[in-house]
Amino acid sequence: MKNIDVLMTAPMMPLITNGISEAFTLHRSWEAPDPEAFLDEVGPRIRGLAAGGHVKVDAAFLDRLPKLEIISNFGVGYDSIDAIEAGRRGIIVTNTPDVLTDEVADLAVGLLICTVRELPQSDRYLRAGKWLEKPYPLTATLRGRRIGVLGLGRIGKAIARRLDAFGLEIVYCGRTRQNDVPYRHYPSLLDMARDVDVLMCVAPGGPATKHMVNAEVLEALGPSGILINVGRGSVVDEKALIEALKSKTILSAGLDVFEDEPRVPAELIAMDHIVLLPHVGSASVHTRSLMGQLVVDNLISWFSGKGPITPVAETPWTGGAA
């Protein structure tokens, strides 16, 4: 398969670059002295793309890769890729579902506990020597809280299972009612926000979910409300969130994702009562390695004629099992 040209536009983990360059001819456009000129030169012969991070793959970008057959995305979320446009052009898009579900769910529960029980703040308190003066102030509690999951998919369900075991009531909001789960379904996010104390956001990014969590939803969540976001930053109206936190419209927030990563608003960074993480939901060596291998394996499977392993819904594979 060495005669097949695969493009990578930003650095990826060695497992991916090694795996792709062993099987194919890999072009790393960011390493070229003039990446744009490099893309003009290699673009016409590129048949595979390894995508990830914040690099946008839109119609204009796809125009430069006329022979592209497959986009193998590092991540289950693929809102940086115009998958509908890819599908229109007959290009398959793959992502990395399932292999990261438990890792992200663990992180989400950890972030919720950190936020409610102020664990990072308590750690800072001890290190600053303040415990010698007086005990850390009492915190809010997880006990008795009702959890509203926005996006009860693979990760949302894994979070719900964990929080079930904590003895907490779970409800969810999504476009479709799921008859195989024991949780109450809310078609309206606003209605759910009125009835819960924790809004656990695990929904994908993209135009359909942009700013779903807005000022009205935060108002409905109320003064003891906690927002956790491990889905995508774009789902939350960050300006409205900052106002809601400043005015104590909600109690606190735990955020792993932001609207303009890796830039995080100074107003959020200045707030000591919230918990902020640098998008680390899946970021263990174990899980990132499984994700990376799936990026490579999707390309190998496709170019071996076996079809994609994990195509996304917008570009289903109809040519037989991978």
Omega before residue 262 within 30° of 0, cis: yes
Mention every residue, 6+ apart, whose C-beta is less than 8 A from residue 45: 5, 67
179 binds ligand NAP (CB under 6 A): no
Least distance CB 163 / ligand NAP (angstroms): 15
Q: Which long-range contacts (CB under 8 A, 24 or more apart) does 187-191 make?
A: 189/150, 189/213, 189/217, 190/216, 190/217, 190/220
Paired with 50 in beta bridges are 8, 72
Options 71-79, 114-122, 151-159, 314-322: segment touching ligand 8YV (CB under 6 A): 71-79
d(CA 145, CA 226): 10
Mention every residue, 6+ apart, whose C-beta is less than 8 A from residue 198: 112, 145, 146, 147, 148, 225, 226, 227, 228
Q: Which of 43, 205, 292, 311 binds ligand NAP (CB under 6 A)?
A: 205
Which partner from the list ligand NAP, ligand 8YV, none does 205 bind, CB cut-off 5 to 8 Å by kind? ligand NAP
76 binds ligand 8YV (CB under 6 A): yes
Which partner from the list ligand 8YV, ligand NAP, none does 256 bind, CB cut-off 5 to 8 Å by kind? ligand NAP
d(CA 202, CA 154): 9
- Residues in contact with ligand NAP, total (CB under 6 A)? 28
Options 8-16, 35-43, 230-238, 285-293: segment touching ligand NAP (CB under 6 A): 230-238
Catalytic residue IDs: 232, 261, 279
Footprint on residues 273-312 left by ligand NAP (CB under 6 A): 279, 281-282
Nearer to ligand 8YV, 43 or 308 (CB): 308
Q: Which of 48, 75, 151, 225 binds ligand 8YV (CB under 6 A)?
A: 75
